[in-house]
Structure 1
Amino acid sequence: MKYILALVFTLSLLACQSEKRNLSEGVAIELPNTDLYEPLESEATSDDENYQAALDFINSYVESIDKVEILEFVKNSPLASEKLKSELENMVILAWEENPRLGLLANPLFDAQDYPPNGFELHEFNSPTGYVIVKGIDWDDFKVALQLVKEDGHILVDGCGIVNIPENMRIER
């Protein structure tokens, strides 16, 4: 039954695509160079290199939001951890199983329906925990929480919005 629902969800999602395109159709998402996020071995490593991964991830998403579906973006992002990818996929599938007409009622990466069209800038970074709070450019009151992790020597986004972010760390709406 789960496989049938997943298949129906996938087919419905693909059938509803009016203007959005798949990456395989030639729409290239410009993602940042992940080599920038390899931790340096010197003591001169700055926190700037760490939180920049979060900014690049969320701003790349804003730039591609009208071109690519959320799940496709995250699955193809070199800045997203495997945990973020699988948790978002589970969240999307569960939402469509629970309500096939509406699916997700809000964007889980923004934890909202709207978003700042000019992107985000750093609001706060907690280096020991890896939590980053970004705020909207020209939308100072719109904030999103992200969490960074180091995997295989790279800094990756492991949580964003409501995906892999504990309730007590989420931004109140």
Structure 2
Amino acid sequence: MRITVLLLLVLVIACAQTNGKKTNAVPAKSKAQPEYEVALRFISDYARYSNDMDSETRLIDWIGSRKDITDSFKSELRRILDEAEKESPETGLGFDPVVDAQDFPSSFEIAQTDGMYVVVKGIEWPEFKLTISVRSVGGKWCVDGAGIVNIPENKRIQRY
């Protein structure tokens, strides 16, 4: 019995000492930290898709097939395109809502980050910038907005 009490006392003291010490262990990557690379992958893929003159895939279908885009992005893009077609059946929107422009670079890099927003810029056209938003959905980071799709006006890049 004395040995059991003694062992228990030693164990309690040992635990108390290790709880107060700092360890050098590196914490696991927080899921709260946005994964901005999903935005860069998306816009790079989008540029390739847009420049593929042989593609017969409609934009809505291409976006719809992506697993790295939120349902909110998909439905808002569809709403924007449908509304533009109703207002102007011949010309539609007149620009690409995903990049908020008619012309855009074929390759991008991350220029800056701000919370859930990432600004990318063209590699060969560094003056061209685009805001993309990301959001965690079910533990996976997805693109939730780009260009005029789900990006508030105060976060959009001003076009002149």
TM range (shorter): 0.7 to 0.9
Separation in 1, partners of 2:60, 2:119: 22
Q: Which residue of 1 aligns with 2:119?
A: 133
Instruction: State the identity %.
Output: 37
Counterpart CA distance in 2 for 1:49 and 1:168 is 20
Alignment pair present for 1:50 and 2:35: yes
Counterparts of 1:44 and 1:137 in 2: how far apart (Å)?
29
SS of residue in 2 equivalent to 1:78: coil
**Consecutive unaligned residues in structure 2, runs of 5 or more:** 1-26
- Shift of the 111–100 alpha-carbon distance from structure 1 to 2, 3 Å rule, reads same
The Cα offsets for residues 61-105 of structure 1, whole Å up to 9 and x where unpaired, read as 111113233222211111110000000001110000000000111
| Structure 2 partner of 1:17 | none
Could you tell me how far 1:168 is from its partner in structure 2?
Answer: 0.4
What is the alpha-carbon distance in structure 2 between the residues aligned to residue 70 and residue 110 of structure 1? 13
**Where do residues 20-169 of structure 1 align in structure 2 (5 Å cutoff)?**
43-45=28-30, 50-65=35-50, 66=52, 67=55, 68-117=57-106, 119-126=107-114, 129-169=115-155
Question: In the alignment, residue 43 of structure 1 is paired with which amino acid?
Answer: A
Count of residues in Structure 1 that have an aligned counterpart in Structure 2: 129
Q: What TM-score results when the alignment is normalised by the length of structure 2?
A: 0.75
In structure 2, what is the equivalent of residue 24 of structure 1?
none
SS of the counterpart of 2:36?
helix
What is the distance in 1 between the residues matched to 2:85 and 2:121? 29
Larger CA Rg, structure 1 vs 2? 2
RMSD in angstroms over aligned alpha carbons?
1.8
Which segments of structure 1 move beyond 4 Å, counting only runs of 4 or more?
45-49
Residues 95-131 of structure 1: CA distance to partner in whole angstroms, max 9, x if unpaired? 00000000111000110000102x11100112xx310
With over 3 angstroms needed to count, the CA separation of the structure-2 counterparts of 1:84 and 1:46, relative to structure 1, is: closer
The aligned amino acid for 1:138 is E
The runs of 5 or more residues in structure 1 that have no matched partner are: 1-41
